Amino acid sequence: MKRLFKNFLKYRYLLRELIKKDIKLKYRRSYLGILWTLLEPLFTMMVLTLVFSGFYGKSDKTFPVYILTGRLLFTFFSNSTKAATKSIRSNAGMIKKVYVPKYIYPISTICSNFIFFMISLIVLVAVALVLGVYPTKYVFLAVVPILNLLVMTLGVGLMLATFSVFFRDMEYLWGIVLTLIMYCCAIFYEPKRVIKTGFGWILEINPLYWVIENFRDAVFGRPLDMRAFAFSTTFACVTLVLGIFVFYKQQDKFILNI
């Protein structure tokens, strides 16, 4: 354990460099650069609002905020798990030549995605203020679902990174699973409508749905839903422990398979 920690300290600078690289290269040579981190969610929000409230003739003024809260969280989860899945294979060249702790690759891509996510929260704040969703004392509780989401993503990302070394199909399979998860997150519809039809259990078994619910509680000024909190926290911790376990068990075999 102590050796692990010392090793981490030694490669702390590499972790920073890798995160910096992701961020620097993502928008290099595009004219608007990092501004895209703000524009992309804003435009998707407009499209989704147009489709799901305009076409259905809903008149809730705060609906864009509702959509944005769900979408931002889901996009972070989706982007970073997808990147983590590929992380070991896309860094194969380095893994084969230089010794570096391998967990640094999935973790650095998740961290850089997390930074993009934090930046994109600016859009949420702006849209919420414009549409009259003002922060209450509950807004500080947004830290809880965000932390849960990060822990969950790290766990899932480590597992996916490991599996995809042995089965290339994982990348494509995970893309499909993500679509499924997206539709089960109540991003652009209200959970009431699903619960009414008797399919509420689909939301109930989806930890990401609970995270989003907790986040919405904080944004819309409601106290934290304790059931959602308990469920998502347990899930997050279990996946992280499992992810670390699986990764450590298999990491020495990576090089034989990439």
Partner 1 sequence: MSKTVLSVDHVGMKFNLASEKVDDLKDYVIKFLKRQLMYKEFWALKDVTFEVKKGDRVGILGLNGAGKSTLLKCVAGVLKPTEGKITTKGVIVPLLELGAGFDKQYTGAENIYLYGAMLGYSKSFIEEKYKEIVKFSELGDFINVPVKNYSSGMKSRLGFSIATIVEPDILILDEVLSVGDAKFRKKSEKKIKSMIDKNVTVLFVSHSIDQVRDICNKAILLEQGHLVASGDVEDVIAIYESKISEN
| Residue 167 found at the interface with partner 1 (CB under 8 A) | yes
Which residue, 95 or 211, has its beta carbon nearer to partner 1?
95
Among the listed ranges 89-97, 151-159, 178-186, 242-250, the one in contact with partner 1 (CB under 8 A) is 89-97
Angle at 60 between CA 57 and CA 64, to 5 degrees: 100
Which string of DSSP letters, residue by residue, matches 118-136? Answer: HHHHHHHHHHHHHTT----
CB of 33 to partner 1, least distance (A): 15
Per CB under 8 A, the list member of 17, 33, 234, 249 interacting with partner 1 is: 17
Per CB under 8 A, the list member of 4, 8, 14, 196 interacting with partner 1 is: 14
d(CA 203, CA 197): 12
| Residue 159 found at the interface with partner 1 (CB under 8 A) | no
Q: How far is CA 179 from CA 77, 107, 156, 173, in A?
A: 12, 23, 16, 10
d(CA 40, CA 17): 25
Query: Phi and psi for 155 in degrees, rounded to 5?
Result: -60, -50
Report, in this order, helix, strand and coil percent for the chain, each rounded to 5.
Answer: 80, 0, 20
Per CB under 8 A, the list member of 1, 176, 197, 252 interacting with partner 1 is: 252
25-54 positions binding partner 1, by CB under 8 A: 25, 28
Per CB under 8 A, the list member of 55, 56, 99, 134 interacting with partner 1 is: 99
CB of 92 to partner 1, least distance (A): 10
| Residue 208 found at the interface with partner 1 (CB under 8 A) | no
Contact (Cβ atoms closer than 8 angstroms) between residue 74 and residue 45: no
Which residue, 24 or 58, has its beta carbon nearer to partner 1?
24
Q: Which spans of this chain sit near partner 1 (rule: CB under 8 A)?
A: 10-11, 13-14, 16-18, 21, 24-25, 28, 93-100, 167-170, 173, 252, 255-256
